[in-house]
Structure 1
């Protein structure tokens, strides 16, 4: 089950069927909700969170910082595993040639850097406008491509116009996920910026997708990003919020085409080794099998109950995609 505020459905179903509960946690939800949107019923939220965490056979988190958060809440360290986010290396395959988007924009002979993701405050995308200005603005050979939508998009568009960058900055708004690789292929370099005050518990999907395409990547030195990118080997890092350092890196790398290519290749190799969804699925299955085996080893102990068989043995997989009412459990089981 993916952990959600006030949700105990997975816990109740696991208890009803006497099967293991693996809980996926992507953020410290109580803290995040309180900070970003305001938290109603905080006591209920914290109590529910602790109840679900105590009940889970194993907790899967996306970063080391979240692992620390779990153990601080009292979860035993041996019940917490870090499985970062990942990429689909088939959809996000290596760049063979630039997409036609560059031709459409009239940027065939320009150096294009850009960002793909949600335009939200913690991504700090506005620093890319500052970098664009420092690189020479409208009179320079650089162009900026911003792909995605979000609450900051209109502010970014307005600011680009005020800075005289309207003709050299292109924003797409929301696009289908399947089209993202085409836009990345229009870039010479991808950037993963984060605001200097951004929380560090995240696991950056966009970074893994950039790297899976063998894109040269420049990213803010923050949280898990610093663990994934090895400077000058799989990418480059800059101090969050430092537009001068970011612009300096982009300007230095622009003429170093072969160096960028070699680093991009190494970045994809890193993803293929550790950060694919298939790799993550294998880890989750292995953890589930260990949990089941542990239950079996105690099934003859005093007062112990036999664990339900695993899915591979014909046991139930519970789907809680809609509310389940008393007497309806059978209709929610699939083989």
Structure 2
């Protein structure tokens, strides 16, 4: 019997999407689930074919250097109308897609059972490969490119609708099954004229080979001298929409009453200097740990030492995504605090699965932190419910099996 495999396509180069590592993490998570189901899976990009364990570490970069803005480059950009810059980026992205991808030149002796592709403004070879192997094409949609860009203020005054129809909608209509991370995104996809019969919601899950309740972070505790401390932790990119300053301000409201509490912020980004200045202003240098960016494969060890794990957002407006870090926290058996935003109040029970705070309300966030610092029974209940969630539905393999059942693929 031939070995079976699945192809997972990310229509970018392995060096791209810096600052958006979640895209790579999601794709490698789906692929790792495929590897678990069929003992084989590959992740293909514009510049190569990789194992899921390799793609976890994308984008390939020069290491963990702090991200700092280039002032000369920023000043030059200010002189150029923004829509010219956007048009150039679109043109460059379109031309970055090879006519023939590396995987199309690679011989594959295994039986391909599924082709999965991450949605992008310009798609990859998903439909061609699915036709070649006579298998279904699944498209995973974490965001619609033109629509999401408009939400962030990116304007395409003459060509946005044309790009959406000519490339995004066309690719979606060619797919056999479309997996959206949220109901809001599903509704938007359907509003573009895509058949609702082939659109489902697959919220973000985790790679269970990395994130699970049995991860041990003793080495992290020793390295940062955290024995006897209660760690309130957050992981992500230092970008405005996360409202990291709200986390620091909330911690500032409660830290004097809880001398054992430490705030640990893991990541990097263009707001790092702003956050460093705020920490200094509030005289929290000895209570807040900034670790910088860490390898994704080492993140589970950091999460494992959290007593309280935070998801944050500056505002609930336009909150259409499915926070990956929330699932990673829960999979590691943590008590989580998250914003009352998007679908989170529908998906998770406040006080049972996690604690919700009013998005943008610093005092309410501080209140939830203090609640978990003082109520050991509540913290334990949330931790146990996180572990139960992980076992029942928290891993990518749960979603991949559901996809296979819908498409009648043997697994």
Instruction: Identify whether the pair has TM-score above 0.5, normalized to the shorter chain.
Output: yes
Gaps of 5+ in 2: 1-116
Aligned equivalent of 1:325: none
Count of aligned positions: 292
Aligned equivalent of 2:294: 175
Aligned equivalent of 2:98: none
Q: Equivalents in 2 of 1:137, 1:147: separation in Å?
A: 22
Instruction: Please state whether the residue corresponding to 2:374 is helix, strand or coil.
Output: coil
Cα 1:91–1:214, aligned 2, differ >3 Å: closer, same or farther? Answer: same
Deviations 1:52-101 (A, max 9, x none): 22222221111111111111112222111111110133422226876343
Instruction: Please state whether the residue corresponding to 1:92 is helix, strand or coil.
Output: coil
Aligned match of 2:372 in 242, 245, 253? 253
Following TM superposition, by how much is the alpha carbon of 1:226 offset from its aligned partner in structure 2, in angstroms?
Answer: 1.9
Q: Equivalents in 1 of 2:155, 2:134: separation in Å?
A: 33
Following TM superposition, by how much is the alpha carbon of 1:27 offset from its aligned partner in structure 2, in angstroms?
Answer: 0.9
Aligned match of 2:245 in 126, 131, 151? 126
The structure with the largest alpha-carbon Rg is 1
Q: Equivalents in 2 of 1:95, 1:78: separation in Å?
A: 39
Instruction: Please state whether the residue corresponding to 1:172 is helix, strand or coil.
Output: strand
Cα 1:110–1:14, aligned 2, differ >3 Å: closer, same or farther? Answer: closer
Instruction: Please state whether the residue corresponding to 1:146 is helix, strand or coil.
Output: strand
The alignment status of 1:185 with 2:185, answered yes or no, reads no
Cα 1:93–1:56, aligned 2, differ >3 Å: closer, same or farther? Answer: closer
Cα 1:194–1:236, aligned 2, differ >3 Å: closer, same or farther? Answer: same
Aligned match of 1:33 in 140, 149, 163? 149
The alignment status of 1:286 with 2:405, answered yes or no, reads yes
Instruction: Please state whether the residue corresponding to 1:254 is helix, strand or coil.
Output: helix
Q: Equivalents in 2 of 1:96, 1:23: separation in Å?
A: 31
The alignment status of 1:147 with 2:263, answered yes or no, reads no
58-67 or 102-111: bigger deviation: 102-111
Aligned match of 1:162 in 262, 268, 281? 281
1:59 and 1:80 in contact (8 A); partners too: yes
1:192 and 1:218 in contact (8 A); partners too: yes
Deviations 1:132-166 (A, max 9, x none): 11114598432100011222222211211122112
Cα 1:45–1:137, aligned 2, differ >3 Å: closer, same or farther? Answer: farther
Aligned equivalent of 1:45: 163
Q: Equivalents in 1 of 2:391, 2:181: separation in Å?
A: 18
Aligned equivalent of 2:354: 235
Aligned equivalent of 2:3: none
Cα 1:156–1:210, aligned 2, differ >3 Å: closer, same or farther? Answer: same
Aligned equivalent of 2:226: 107
Instruction: Please state whether the residue corresponding to 1:273 is helix, strand or coil.
Output: helix
Aligned equivalent of 1:74: 193
Gaps of 5+ in 1: 291-309, 313-335
Q: Superposition RMSD on alpha carbons, in Å?
A: 2.5
Following TM superposition, by how much is the alpha carbon of 1:23 offset from its aligned partner in structure 2, in angstroms?
Answer: 1.5
Aligned equivalent of 1:9: 125
Instruction: Please state whether the residue corresponding to 1:24 is helix, strand or coil.
Output: strand
Following TM superposition, by how much is the alpha carbon of 1:192 offset from its aligned partner in structure 2, in angstroms?
Answer: 0.6
Following TM superposition, by how much is the alpha carbon of 1:39 offset from its aligned partner in structure 2, in angstroms?
Answer: 5.2
Q: Equivalents in 1 of 2:367, 2:271: separation in Å?
A: 25
Deviations 1:113-139 (A, max 9, x none): 010122222222221101111114598
Q: Equivalents in 1 of 2:321, 2:250: separation in Å?
A: 24
Deviations 1:265-320 (A, max 9, x none): 11121122122111112112223327xxxxxxxxxxxxxxxxxxx9x9xxxxxxxx
Cα 1:17–1:177, aligned 2, differ >3 Å: closer, same or farther? Answer: closer
- TM normalised by structure 1 equals 0.79
The alignment status of 1:55 with 2:174, answered yes or no, reads yes
1:100 and 1:186 in contact (8 A); partners too: no
Q: Equivalents in 2 of 1:113, 1:77: separation in Å?
A: 41
